[in-house]
Structure 1
Amino acid sequence: MSIYLIRHTTPLIEKGVCYGQLNIDVTDTFESEAEQIQHALPADIEQVYSSPLIRCHKLASYLFPVHTISLEPDLMELACGEWEGIHWDAIPQEVIDPWMKDFVNVCIPGGESYVQMHSRVTQCFTRIINASKPVAIVTHGGVIRSILAHITQTPLVDSFGAFKIHYGCVMQLQATPAGFRYEALHNITTEKEQHKPSSFKR
Structure 2
Amino acid sequence: MIVYLIRHTTPNIERGICYGQSDIDVSDIFEEEANFLLGKIKSVTITDVISSPLQRCTKLATKISTAYTTNASLMELDFGNWELKKWNAIPDEETNPWMNDFVNVPVPNGENYLDLFARAIKCYKNIQNNNTIVVTHAGVIRSILTYITNTNLNDSFDFKIPYGTIVKIDTESNEYTIL
Task: Tell me the residue number matched to 2:169.
Answer: 173
Task: Tell me the residue number matched to 1:153.
Answer: 150
Describe the superposition over 1:97-129 as per-residue Cα deviations: whole angstroms up to 9, x where unpaired: 11111111000001000011100110111111x
Task: Tell me the residue number matched to 2:65.
Answer: 64
1:165 maps to amino acid: I
Q: Distance in 1 between matches of 2:35 and 2:99?
A: 37
1:180-191 correspondence to structure 2 within 5 Å: 180-185=174-179
Q: Distance in 2 between matches of 1:141 and 1:165?
A: 6
Task: Tell me the residue number matched to 2:36.
Answer: 36
The structure in which a higher percent of residues are helix is 2
Q: Distance in 1 between matches of 2:164 and 2:170?
A: 19
Q: Are 2:48 and 1:47 equivalent residues in the alignment? A: yes
Gaps in structure 2 of 5+ consecutive residues: none
Gaps in structure 1 of 5+ consecutive residues: 186-202
1:155 maps to amino acid: N
Q: Distance in 1 between matches of 2:56 and 2:129?
A: 27
State the SS of the aligned residue for 1:6. Answer: strand
CA-CA distance at 1:72 after TM superposition: 0.2
TM-score for both structures, normalised by structure 2: 0.97
Q: Are 2:20 and 1:20 equivalent residues in the alignment? A: yes
Task: Tell me the residue number matched to 1:138.
Answer: 135
Q: Are 2:113 and 1:114 equivalent residues in the alignment? A: yes
**Considering only aligned residues, what root-mean-square deviation do their CA atoms show, in Å?**
0.9
Q: Are 2:2 and 1:6 equivalent residues in the alignment? A: no
TM-score for both structures, normalised by structure 1: 0.86
CA-CA distance at 1:43 after TM superposition: 3.2
State the SS of the aligned residue for 2:15. Answer: coil
Task: Tell me the residue number matched to 1:194.
Answer: none
Q: Distance in 1 between matches of 2:131 and 2:60?
A: 18
- How many residues are paired up? 178
